Structures are given as C-alpha cells and as structure tokens.
Structure 1
C-alpha cells in the first residue's frame, strides 16, 4: 500500500488560487491512505487513523447538533490525548475554530480566557477546570459518522492559541489553515517521518510546537505516543521501550536525561531525531548528547504568532561550535529580518536589532484585539520583540529579549503578568520580576519587592499567594526585599541591573 501523502496534496490550491483542502483533510486523506495504521498509542489502547477520522466526524456532527456554526469557537482544556485531536479535527470539520487552552493555568486564568474566547462548547478532561463543560466521549458517541464537509476558506481562522501578553492579559493568536499548511510544509520533508515512525512530544498540544509535531506525524502516517512519564527515569523508559524515532524536547530535559546513569546504558538505536527549541544547548552538552543518543538534532526558533518555528539549526550545523550559539537560518519560504527597532530599517550582518518575521507563517492577528494586532504586525511583518543579529552566513543569533520574557522549562513567562498578581498583595508597594539562570529550568522568575510603608513582606507567603492565582511555572522561586527599585533619571526601571544583581 502506498502511504505517501505530501503536504502539497493536503494544502493544495486550484490554479485560480482557491483552496481545495485544509486542516481537517490531514486526517481525511491519511485515513483514506492508511486506515488501519496506528495513529496514537496509549498505555492501554491504540487508535487507528480510521478511528480518529470517524470519531472526529462524530465530534463535528455532535457540535453541529448543539448549534455550533462556522466561526464559533470550540475550546479544549486538557492533557495530550486522542480527544484533543478529535476535537481539533472535529471542530474544523464543523467549520468551527478549535481553541487550545493551557490546562496548567490556575482557574482564574482559564476563566479569563474562556470569557475572551466565548466558546460555544468547552471540552475538558477534568470537569474541575471548567464546571459545566463536556467531558468523556458520551456527548458524541451516538453522532453520525457521515462527514458534514462544512467548507472553510484558506484564510479563515482554524485554530486559536492563547498566550499571555506583556500586559498580563491573555491574547488569542489566530492561525489560519494557510498558516498551518505552510508551517507543516516547511518541515514535512526534512525529518524523515514515515509510516514506520513513532513520534513523541512531551510538550503539550496547547503549544504550537507540540501540536506541530502531532500534525506533521499525522500527515506522514507516523504513530503518536501519548503515554506520559511521572519522572525523568520513566521518560527514558518510554522513549526506549516504545522505540520512539522522533521526539521534541526542551534543552533542560535533555540535560537532565544526560545526568541519569540509565540514559548511558540504554539502547537508543530507534531514535533518529531530537527536536528542541526555546534556548540553545551548550556545546559540551550537545557533544555528549550526540555521542549518547547517536541521533540527529534540530533546533528551531519561532513564536506562536509565526505558527511556530521559522529558523532551523540543521543536524550538520551542530558540529560547528560557533553556529551552536545561533538559532539557525530561516526556513525555506520564510522571511526573517533584523531591523532598527525605532525606524524598522533593515540592519546589516553583525548589527543588533529587533527580529521581524514575514511571509505565510504570519498569524491572522490577535482575537478581538485590532489595536494590538496593528502594533505587532507592521506591513505584514511580525515584530517579535526579540533582539538579534545575523552573521555573514545568514545564521540568526538572539542576544536579548526586548520584551523581557522569561523562558522557564520551555514555558514563556511574561514578567508583567506576574508583577500584576504580586502587586495585588497588601504588603507589596512595587515589584519587578526578572529571570535568573537555573540549572534545571534554564531560567526561573525571581521577584524583587518594595514593601508598603509599615508592612513586612514574607517571601514564602508571597510565593504561596502567587501560586493560588497563577500557573506554578510562572511563580517566583525566590523573593528579594529591597528599599527601592533601580531606575534611571527619567524613572525607567532598570531590569538589567536587577538581573545582574541576582545572577
């Protein structure tokens, strides 16, 4: 049986430019080509592509029966599971917009996102996350298995990912079928995924990187491993015993695995590719990883606003020390510039400026936020807020974060969001949150606090306060009490001074 389906078949166009296929056609075409192959592996069962296609059709019909119309939002809150993809494909088959919500967020954060997205239906794997939502599969088990074939255009929003903004408010990032199609096409041919491959992303599907690996695995007929490990030793067991061939990891996890004796005694012959992002890997670590795992490494840099990765550090680049400090070169078909952050004029190699991303990967915009969309997408280019520079060979190097974002264990933490919560504490007058190096997480947030007059700030109490209101990965790991925050003559907070003081 010929199981080859290429991305141009899934995301093709008529000569007149009209779209003929879209996101839901990933599973439609894959089920038609290889219906009996395994799509997903769980501890106690497997799901075939035919199963996934049928169940997503039932989801679509159940949504329509509940009054869902094209353009309505259908939210999913939960862990990586077959239900996530059933809802994703089912929503798009119904013409709705699949909305991925981080199940690691605190209940008030989830409530804020649901209020903003106003979904017609919410599906959860834990009813406590959103009382009154749909759970299990009883709500669609009796629905028709006849595909409703609701049409959607290539520029219509297919998925919304929510990410915290620098203002502390969650923003919905609208990605179209075209966005996802171009992102998948970019990596489709370069990871050697086949119908014999087993892919694993211990990265949640509410992140574009996690969902991207899931979709490209579906596109190529690879099996997705959905088992989870409770500790790092268990992750070694899963990767090795399930013969995982393609895995996506954050660098901190890779470093932790290399510190485990079992890792060095394990047979890694099945592993072909390890994909990582969020931060570079130090040269000694990548050298050890290459020796231990014996596979190829790919690093990618991008944003949810750019539908995931837009640059790639290819396997052969990992053997050039200078290039390991970079995030690679732009993918084929992707435009990346470094510009003066004030004039937006392009800068020559070696000059530092702001990284801009253009081309078909650029999001449609922020959900119901035209002003923020206009500020972020300028003349078709996404202003990333990341500082960087190109070298003479076209490799991109990131130097700082203009937006002061913290990357902790692969999760984006925006200081303004954390600061907003901490300043709600009655003992806090002012607070600044900065990232400090962490051997385990890459970076961790630290709070520098000025107490209110006559008040005493208890660090443990303040951390507990934040944990009741924020996802734990966003909460400070330490609190430092000071009399005043460092500022320049114009009153601007000098966060670089704070970072240098606590590193």
Structure 2
C-alpha cells in the first residue's frame, strides 16, 4: 500500500494498524480520520492527527527493525511530556511489547531526571531490549548503553510535519492485541526512594482510559491542559481525550502563571488534571490577583474550565471549600494509587457539601471498596475503622520481580492499600492515614491525618505534617510541623487548645514547629521521614 497525500501532509499506508484491534488501533483510526485537524500542542508547536499517525508508523518501523516484538520491553527517555511519550507507547503496544519510562518515578510532578543508577536498575529489572531516546535524552542514553550494553534507538524530528516516512511501500501487520499481556511498567519511588515497577496489562490501561472517557462525556469535556507526567496514569487520560475527539495542550511542569495564560488564551480548554498542591497554587494566584468569586474567574477568561481533576495527597477541607467558593462546581477529587488505579471520586457537587469535604468520595465507576480489620481481614460495617481494600479492572498484575511484596498487597482479587479509613452509611470513604503512620500513645491510636485536618483548619496554616517520634525507651510521642502563609500570625497554643477540645488531650502534639517551608519528598508530600530523623535521639 503506497503512501497517500492529503493536502500538503503525507499520511502512512491506510489503516495498517487495524489488525491490532486494541486501544492504540482505535486512537490511530480516529486521528487518521481527521489528518489535518490539530490535536496536540507542545513547546509552541502544533501537531495534527496525520502528524501523530505518521510518527507512530515511523517509530513502529524503527523498533521493528531493531528487533522489538511480542513481550519485549522498550525503555523511553525523552523530554518532559513530549508527544513522543504516547507515540512510542502506541508503537510498542502495536508490536506486542510494553514500555517503561526512565525520566521520573513521580506521578504528581515532573522532577529532574532520575539518577543514572536508578535508571540502570530499571533497565535491568525490566530486561529492556532498547532505550528509545530523543535529543534531550541522547547523552544519558549513551551512558546507559555503555554501562548496560542495551542499544539506543533514536529518530530525528519525530512528530514534526517535515518527517518523511520510510521508503517501504508496506507496513508489516501489527501484533494482535492481547489485553492480558503487559503493556506498561510504571515505576514509583514509594517510601524508600528505590524505584519499584508496577506491571499494568493492556486491560488495566484500557479500563483507566474508558473511565476517563465516561467522565469527559458526563461533564462535556474534551480538550485538556496537562502538566503532570504522561508516564503515569495521566497518560491514559490523554488517550481518552484523543478518543473523545479533543485536543491536548502539554506543559512540561506545572507553572501557575503559564497555566492561567494558556487557559485564558485557548477557550477550547475545558479540562485539566493537577496535583492537590497545584490546585491551591492556582487558588492563591487568583486571590493575589484580586479574584474572589466565579464571576471574577469568568472575567479573567477562565470560565471555560469545566473540570479540574486532582489528587495525589490529602486536601484540607477548609482549602477545598475556599476553592469551591472561588471556582464553582468544577473540582473532581480522585483517590487512588499507581497499583490500584482510581478507587474513589469526590464529584463536582460533592465539593459544595461541607459534610463531605473531609471524605474522598464514593467508589469510582467500576471500582469496589471495603474496609477490613487489618489483622484478620474480616470486612467491617459502616462507620468502623480499618484498612481500605479496593478492586477494579484498573489494578496492576503485580510488582515487577517482587513476588513476595505482590503477595502482601494482592489478596483474593483485592488490593491492600495500607490506608486506614471508614465508609459511612452513604458509601463515602474517609481516610485517617496510613497503617504505618499510626502513632500509639499510651495504648491509644492517633491518626496523623485527623490531627493535620485540625491544624489546617486554622487560618494562616498552609501545610501541616503530624508524625511520631520514639524516645530512647521506645515510647512514641506526637510531634507536628507546619508552614504558614507569609505574614500570617499563627498562635500555636490556640491550635493546641483546639485539638484538646475537639479530640482529646492525648492528641495534642508535644512539640509543634513553625517552619519557613515544610520539607517535601519526591512525591510532593510532607517528608515525615526527614522530619522524624531531625528529632529522633542520636
């Protein structure tokens, strides 16, 4: 089948991907049906559906020539949120292989490139057959190749309109889509900082994409602005936008001023996904600009935003109420993990109910949740506190090359989250913290997240962390640290008195530190390990 021309754009042999019959085939068909429509924006460049289809074809051919086939893993090392992230994934999945991304293990924000030793570990544990690199990743990819012997695959100008297709008249037939086969290995740093691979089948990836499609249709959203990494679950959200016929605006990291400029300039943007901290940065920025209500938001050209999905860390109820008053019913909070996918959702209208502000919502479409006794595994009744478990089609198959750890968290088809909480009579889940973070004081269990909510409810407190510190005798003590708004005067004793009254004297932190900035870990959450270390006895 010879290459065809439409307008001034070259498109590959028609529908060569159809035999795959997977999600990538579906997306490419939709993109090819409108080859001249602009579907993606990145670094000031515009990419049409034809551009992306042609690029997937080029990468498919290059990787096939490299020998990539069914069951192989391709490591990807490209610029932050580059269009090549989905392009390479589509091509590899069409070859019957899987991808892993080497740049970052943080799903909430894009940090500096991972240390080379971590990347070598990831390559070895996935048994990757090649590293796909762009110009920005070429130097590191060459170093990885020298140290591991894994070859580098690199194409020039992928995604650009001037890219020429291979001289081949025919594109080989893709592998038949196997939804049960490995499609993506997501790496997360966890609490140890050591990358841990999460194996996601094609079925799990497609389930996440379909869930996002349903949400987009429900709220009339199509075009999206994304600044969190496409290497993680937001990659399936990008796929959903293509499937909905929308456009994707990519930013390399979250910058509140760039975000506001883009949304106000592009009236088509109706959707975004943020880390929880990004929502608060957005709200603070608007307030600094004198914007106090939805009318002011509309006047600033931001009324096109219909949905701001967010997650990654607990949200202070007072701050969420502030965001709701300012932005209106556009917020959608998601609770989930890289291992489980989406677990619950606090909807747009739920955010307007103060009684629900402390919850993380009800089960996400297609997900089931239950709360069990952490020791016996017995399911608990509504209102009883225990360990949260979840199951859905989005769940991982297991950790890569960690069978013992997999057996600990996957039991009888359920994922053991390690979170503590309870489900009320209406089915809303409230989280109380991590099993590992519970502080036992005089035989009483103190849940840090409950204390943190009390501290965050105090005017002027921006961030808070509650953690346990053991003394030389092994007894635990409740400590807290907080970061306040610039110029705010916060009365620590007033906060302590409020905790004693609303909870109990035993919940009152023995020490409360007011810091200029609360240290954050690689996942963008308060670094309790570091805080604890600075106070533990030497």
Post-superposition Cα deviations, 1:317-337, rounded to whole Å, max 9, x if no partner, equal 111112111111112321111
CA shift at 1:120, angstroms?
1.1
Residue 251 of structure 1 deviates from its aligned partner by: 2.0
The CA distance in 1 between the partners of 2:120 and 2:266, in whole Å, is 37
Does residue 377 (structure 1) correspond to residue 410 (structure 2)? The answer is yes
Gap regions ≥5 residues in structure 1: 1-18, 408-414, 416-433, 441-465, 486-503
C-alpha distance after superposition, 1:265-295 (max 9, x if no partner) = 6221211110011234334433433343345
Distance in 1 between residues matched to 2:254 and 2:381, nearest whole Å: 47
In structure 2, how many angstroms separate the alpha carbons of the residues matched to 1:300 and 1:68? 36
SS of equivalent residue, structure 1 residue 315: coil
Contact 1:386 1:401 in 2 (8 A): yes
Farther-moved stretch of structure 1 (131-140 vs 228-237): 131-140
Question: Structure 1 483/259 Cα, relative in aligned 2: closer, same or farther at 3 Å?
Answer: closer
Name the CA distance, whole Å, in 1 between partners of 2:524 and 2:396. Answer: 26
Q: Contact 2:213–2:241 (CA<8 Å) still a contact in 1?
A: no
1:232 aligns with 2:250: no
The 1:345/1:472 distance shift into structure 2, 3 A limit, reads closer
Partner of 1:110: 119
Matching residue of 2:396 = 363
SS of alignment partner, residue 302 of structure 1: strand
User: Aligned residue for 1:213?
Assistant: 237
Structure-2 residue corresponding to 1:89: 90
- Aligned-CA RMSD value: 3.3
Change (3 A) 1:480 1:151: closer
Offset, 1:142? 4.9
Q: Which residue of 2 aligns with 1:246?
A: 271
Deviation at 1:239, TM superposition (A): 2.4
Q: Match for residue 42 of structure 1?
A: 42
Query: How many residues of Structure 1 are paired with residues of Structure 2 in the alignment?
Result: 413
Residue 120 (structure 1) aligned with residue 129 (structure 2): yes
Residue 60 of structure 2: aligned partner: 60
Residue by residue over 1:236-266, the C-alpha shift from the partner in whole angstroms, topping out at 9 and shown as x without a partner, is 2122222321001122112122222348262
- Contact 1:194-1:220 within 8 A present in 2 as well: no
Could you say if the C-alpha distance between residues 435 and 33 of structure 1 is closer, same or farther in structure 2, counting changes exceeding 3 Å? farther
Asked whether 1:204 is paired with 2:226, we answer: no
Selected match of 1:272 from 299, 306, 322: 306
Contact 1:195 1:222 in 2 (8 A): no
Query: Structure 1 172/195 Cα, relative in aligned 2: closer, same or farther at 3 Å?
Result: same
TM normalised by structure 1 equals 0.74
Specify the SS of the correspondent of 1:173.
strand
Asked if the contact 1:354/1:384 (under 8 Å) is kept, the reply is yes
Give, in whole Å, the separation in 1 of the partners of 2:202 and 2:72: 16
Q: Do 2:206 and 2:236's aligned partners in 1 also have CA atoms closer than 8 Å?
A: no
Q: Deviations over 1:179-209 (max 9, x none)?
A: 122222223222238998320121111222x
Secondary structure of the residue that 1:151 maps to in structure 2? Answer: coil
Indicate conservation of the 8 Å contact 2:383/2:423, yes or no.
yes
Confirm or deny that 1:30 pairs with 2:30. yes
Q: Who wins on radius of gyration, i.e. which is larger?
A: 2
Query: Could you tell me how far 1:151 is from its partner in structure 2?
Result: 1.5
**Aligned partners of 2:281, 2:53: CA distance in 1, in Å?**
37
Matches within 5 A, 1:293-312: 293-294=327-328, 296-306=330-340, 308-312=341-345
- Of 136-145 and 20-29, the range deviating more from structure 2: 136-145
Whole-angstrom CA distance in 2 between matches of 1:215 and 1:403: 35
User: Structure 1 residues 157, 189: closer, same or farther in 2, change over 3 A?
Assistant: same
Q: CA deviation at 1:157?
A: 0.8
CA-to-partner distance for each residue in 1:124-153, whole Å, 9 max, x for gaps? 342343324444536996545736321231
**1:169/1:483 CA distance change after superposition, 3 Å:** closer
Does the Cα contact within 8 Å between 2:204 and 2:395 map onto a contact in 1? yes
Q: Match of 1:192, SS?
A: helix
Paired residue secondary structure (2:308): strand
Q: How does 1:331-410 map to 2 (within 5 A)?
A: 331-404=364-437
Counterparts of 2:75 and 2:290, CA distance in 1: 38
1:163 corresponding residue in structure 2: 188
Q: How big is each residue's C-alpha offset from its partner over 1:371-390, in whole Å with a ceiling of 9 and x where there is no partner? A: 22222211111111111110
Distance between the aligned counterparts of 2:155 and 2:102, measured in 1? 17
Alignment of 1:413-432 (within 5 A): none
**Counterpart in the other structure of 2:199:** 174
In 2, are the aligned partners of 1:61 and 1:148 still within 8 Å (CA)? Answer: no
**For residues 412-451 of structure 1, what are the structure 2 equivalents within 5 Å?**
437-438=482-483
Change (3 A) 1:68 1:289: same
- The 2-side partners of 1:345 and 1:472 are apart by 32
Cα shift readout 1:330-362 (whole Å, capped 9, x = no counterpart)? 123211111111111111111111111123222
CA contact (8 A) 1:80 1:226 kept: yes
| Paired residue secondary structure (1:249) | strand
Q: 1:137 to 1:439 in 2, by over 3 A?
A: farther
Q: What TM-score do the two structures reach when normalised by structure 2? A: 0.69
